[in-house]
Amino acid sequence: MSSLYIRDSDVDELAKKVQKLTNAPNKTEAVRRALENELARAKETIPLVERIRKIQDEVAVQLGPNPKPFDMKAFSDDMWDA
């Protein structure tokens, strides 16, 4: 695993500030936390309907196709030999 090397002095200062404010053990951890937080924030900007659709699609793949809807009338007719 290689260490993080920041060439831009402004970015280095930002990393140091994040490290200090978050009590991160090093700049690499501070940058990791900042990037994870930014990813979480970016995901929240995705409209709710799109996030739900993605979850629905993932569940649909796991469950397979929808079964035929239950027909209560046909069930009752069959039960009573109607």
Predicted confidence (pLDDT) per residue in 8-30, tens digit: 899 999 999 999 999 999 999 99
**Cα separation, 80 vs 77, whole angstroms:** 5
Q: Report the distance separating Cα 30 and Cα 32, nearest Å.
A: 5
Residue 1 lies in a domain: no
What is the mean predicted confidence (pLDDT) over 38-60? 92
Q: How far apart are CA 44 and CA 20, in angstroms?
A: 26
Structural domain including 15 reads 9-79
| Closest alpha carbon to 19 in 11, 29, 6 | 29
Across residues 61-76, what is the average pLDDT? 87
pLDDT at 2: 64
Domain assignment present for 36:
yes
What is the Cα–Cα distance from 79 to 14, expressed in whole angstroms? Answer: 73
Q: Does any domain span residue 2?
A: no
Dihedral pair phi/psi, residue 10, rounded to 5° = -65, -40
Q: Is 4 a domain residue?
A: no
DSSP state for residue 23 in the 8-state scheme = T
Q: Is the pTM of this model over 0.75?
A: no
What's the number of domains the chain is made of? 1
Note whether residue 26 is domain-resident: yes
